Chain A
Amino acid sequence: SQQGEEDPQALSIQEGENATMNCSYKTSINNLQWYRQNSGRGLVHLILIRSNEREKHSGRLRVTLDTSKKSSSLLITASRAADTASYFCATVRNSGNTPLVFGKGTRLSVIA
Chain B
Amino acid sequence: DAGVIQSPRHEVTEMGQEVTLRCKPISGHNSLFWYRQTMMRGLELLIYFNNNVPIDDSGMPEDRFSAKMPNASFSTLKIQPSEPRDSAVYFCASTLKAGETQYFGPGTRLLVL
A43 interfacial by beta-carbon distance below 8 Å:
yes
Total interface residues on A, using CB and 8 Å?
22
Which of these binds chain B: A12-20, A58-66, A77-85, A95-103?
A95-103
User: Binding site of B, secondary structure by majority: helix, strand, loop or mixed?
Assistant: strand
**Chain A residues within CB distance 8 Å of chain B:** 30-31, 33, 41-45, 48, 88, 92, 95-105
Q: Which of A99, A102, A105 contacts B98 (CB under 8 A)?
A: A99
Q: Are B42 and A102 within 8 A (Cβ)? A: yes
**Chain B residues within CB distance 8 Å of chain A:** 4, 31, 33, 42-43, 45, 48, 50, 56, 91, 93, 97-107
Q: Are A105 and B42 within 8 A (Cβ)? A: yes
Kindly state the separation between the CA atoms of A95 and B101 in the bound complex, as whole angstroms.
15
Q: Are B42 and A103 within 8 A (Cβ)? A: yes
